Amino acid sequence: MAERFGGYQNEIYLHGLGGAKPPFTTDPTRLAESAREVMTPEAYDYVAGGAGSGATMAANRAAFDRWRLVPRMLTDATDRDTSATVLGERLPAPVLLAPVGVQSIVHSDAELATARAAASLGLPMILSTASSRTIEDVAEASGAGARWFQLYWPADSDVTASMLTRAERAGYRTLVVTLDTWSLAWRPRDLDRAHLPFLTGEGLATPLSDPAFRALLDKAPEEDMPAAILRWVSLFTGTDHSWDQLPFLREHWSGPIVLKGIQHPDDARGAADAGVDGIVVSNHGGRQVDGAIAALDALPGIVRAVGERVDVLFDSGVRTGADVLKAVALGAKAVLVGRPWVYGLGHAGEDGVRHVLRGLLADLDLTLALTGHRSIAELGPDSLQRS
């Protein structure tokens, strides 16, 4: 089991003996810069941009820097176990692919490439409601891979129920409900380009293929696409939901339910009281509220509040293997990773996603070992020091 993921390092070096180099950088701090050279300006800004001044994105990264790993020696860490159990599901590492929409603006294979790459590594892919490919087509691309479905909760109950039914029938196990994006934030990069991909039909495969949504239209999308797009946008944004509506989701979903976007302990308690199975501590990667609390700063208090009642996951700002270990040490069961593998998708489709994820997993594995831990389960507050 030694270097199960860390062996990617040796693979790269051995290929280097024959003159081969990695397809693009292995440095997570250079991925965005590198991807900018191969993606369209509109696609790059949509992925890289955040709310307002970008202060929340910066805060997410700064929060990781305030925690430092404390290496221990002579711990017999030659053989390691990077696995983790999340909502009863055994994962090879505490890593999931965060839901990212409109992947067709990044690469023509879109979510199909991402699904194949995730499945090849045994990592769950969380499919966004704003997918460029249908629920069913992505499920087929995933094969036997673990898959979760993310819901941007529409303002129409019939459409919501229909999408959930489709996802369950297609084998999606866990429902992730994003709470923080019921309306789009002020995003200057997109606004400066007057670019919102949904208005050109990108990222609408789920509603356009949904019978309940199509029943709301005067004409089929194939006959009047502009009207269908505007109808979906009206359901997709502008309507907030309330705690007393959560039972509706349980009525239409038999598997685990996770609420994403939790940043306050009282909201975490509300989620646990409502009977959900998990939460994701997340500020949407800094894309929704400018000047918000860093997600990692919110994590310890939320774990203290509900960590024994629900599975607490983490999202926002994860870039390195060390980041994963820090979040787990602070109480997260696993992390969701987004932008890094999207940049990989932009570089080289499925192979690019796999390269980025293998690099992250190798970094995680090697850092786990070199900090003196033999398993993910050994990580805890004592593994860290506040800087």
Would you say residue 381 lies in a domain?
Answer: yes
DSSP characters for 67-104? EEE----SS--SS-B--EEETTEEESSSEEEPP---GG
Does 189 score more than 50 pLDDT? yes
Which residue carries 């796999």 as its tokens? 354
How many domains does the chain fold into?
1
Does 276 score more than 90 pLDDT? yes
Q: How confident is the model at residue 215, as a pLDDT?
A: 98
Catalytic residue among 107, 284, 347, 355: 284
Distance from first CA to last CA of the chain, Å, rounded?
33
Q: pLDDT digits over 316-351, tens only?
A: 999 999 999 999 999 999 999 999 999 999 999 999
Mean pLDDT over 9-25 rounds to 96
Residue 96 CA to residue 280 CA, distance in Å, equals: 12
Residue 111 CA to residue 224 CA, distance in Å, equals: 25
**15 flagged as catalytic:** no
Residue 342 CA to residue 345 CA, distance in Å, equals: 5
Would you say residue 1 lies in a domain?
Answer: no
Does 182 score more than 70 pLDDT? yes
Would you say residue 268 lies in a domain?
Answer: yes
Domain containing residue 121: CATH number: 3.20.20.70
Percent of the chain with pLDDT over 90: 99
Residue 15 CA to residue 77 CA, distance in Å, equals: 27
Q: How confident is the model at residue 2, as a pLDDT?
A: 40
Residue 80 CA to residue 73 CA, distance in Å, equals: 15
Does 269 score more than 90 pLDDT? yes
Does 1 score more than 80 pLDDT? no
Which residue carries 């820097």 as its tokens? 65
Q: How confident is the model at residue 4, as a pLDDT?
A: 84
CA distance readout (Å), 134 to 29, 303, 354: 32, 35, 22
Q: What is the residue range of 161's domain?
A: 7-386
Would you say residue 12 lies in a domain?
Answer: yes
Q: How confident is the model at residue 109, as a pLDDT?
A: 98
Q: At what angle do helices 295-306 and 265-273 cross, to 10 degrees?
A: 40
Would you say residue 166 lies in a domain?
Answer: yes
| Residue 106 C-beta-side C-alpha neighbours within 13 Å | 34
Would you say residue 367 lies in a domain?
Answer: yes
Mean pLDDT over 241-258 rounds to 98
What is the separation of C-alpha 127 from the centre of its chain, rounded to a whole number of angstroms?
A: 9
288 band by pLDDT with thresholds 50, 70 and 90: very high
What type of residue is 159?
Answer: V
pTM: 0.98
